[in-house]
Structure 1
């Protein structure tokens, strides 16, 4: 049996909103394909071009807090995913898989665990053996009490969207103005901080894709735009 093909769309440095719109085009393509016989899955990769604080379905920041964040020069955005307020910005890898969990026979909780496994596989490839996943209700990838990679997903009619945000060389001071993901007493970290050298988003794309392909048992096909 042949492995499922996943179309990879590498956007590079783009506004956060552009990545979300590309993801929605992938979702539409996956839904259209389901109406036929073929599967159409995708993976959007991007680096946010400017700082933005984004929140999920569990609630937006209060008006006063939002005003303070805007005053620091960041945009604010709502995202249709789980989770609370977090930061996205330059130096961060956004990986937004659009997968058909029904075709894959993959429960949502197992899918989140697989995303964590893909990020952990990247960490192993870079020599960060101490990276780990924590028991529920925590998600993401951690080094000690500091989160390296945040995960927030949405699943509608078994089609996934959103995904993970991995701090590569992110300016971590942006996280100081919020309680990231609503987790009191926890910190954030980056690959650059943990490895003691500058690690750009471009440096992790190949090892991340290798790990993703391994975890999700797929063949990656590179594309400029989602399949029509």
Structure 2
């Protein structure tokens, strides 16, 4: 039985480790329900969650990432008041911080569609449509995940990074969308392992800070529409 109801949660500004632990707990809950269903031959519906959060300054390195793409040593991290974690998502290194919408869709894709490529493209499309509402034309960069501006020329710059984990069609981790983020923190890494492309934000593109709560609302609605979710 497909359950398209999705519980939306906004965790506010939350320490990365605490958020990761919460994600793992919810992720395990869904996977365990699927295992129980299969073992007992039942069809109890699995739950779905869409989480938005902001983190204090932190760098995270995905499973396929290179540690040398962090350009700070331990003292440098302290000076920047930033933390660092090696985590279990795909992708390389990225930065999270205040002014950035970090999205963690923790979904059972059996409730929607079992296609991880389509899953990533659908998340990208939600970001692209949200940016369009603010007059920012965005798109995709062939061969890379995430959302880009001017992807077809030498001015290509990324505004949203993505890195997910999927097991038994249950997802966790997600995307990092730069709204009013301090872009100086990206200078301390090779973002996503790409050393010849810039990083940008809505604030930089528009020339002024944006109401992040307003952006969250627009983005949440686009995600719900594209996935056919019923947000609760």
Conservation of the 8 A alpha-carbon contact between 2:71 and 2:189: no
Identify if the C-alpha distance between structure 1 residues 200 and 60 changes in structure 2 by more than 3 Å, giving closer, same or farther.
farther
Partner residue in 2 for 1:191:
202
Q: What is the 5 A alignment of 1:32-181?
A: 32-34=32-34, 35-36=36-37, 37-48=44-55, 50-59=56-65, 61-62=67-68, 65-67=72-74, 68-128=76-136, 130-136=137-143, 138-144=144-150, 145-181=156-192
Conservation of the 8 A alpha-carbon contact between 1:19 and 1:44: no
* Bigger Rg over Cα: 2
Q: Root-mean-square deviation (CA), in Å? A: 2.0
**94-103 vs 61-70, which deviates more?**
61-70
State the Cα distance separating 1:194 from its structure 2 match.
1.1
- How far, CA to CA, are the matches of 1:79 and 1:40 in structure 2? 24
Aligned residue pair count: 218
Segments of 5+ residues of structure 1 without an aligned counterpart are 222-228
Deviations 1:67-105 (A, max 9, x none): 344443211112211111111111111100011123323
| SS of residue paired to 1:153 | strand
Q: Scaled by the length of structure 1, what TM-score is found?
A: 0.88
- How far, CA to CA, are the matches of 1:15 and 1:200 in structure 2? 22
- How far, CA to CA, are the matches of 1:65 and 1:13 in structure 2? 24
- How far, CA to CA, are the matches of 1:125 and 1:183 in structure 2? 28
Deviations 1:50-77 (A, max 9, x none): 2111100013524984434444321111
- How far, CA to CA, are the matches of 2:23 and 2:118 in structure 1? 21
State the Cα distance separating 1:3 from its structure 2 match.
7.0
| SS of residue paired to 2:52 | strand
Segments of 5+ residues of structure 2 without an aligned counterpart are 38-43, 151-155
- How far, CA to CA, are the matches of 2:85 and 2:169 in structure 1? 24
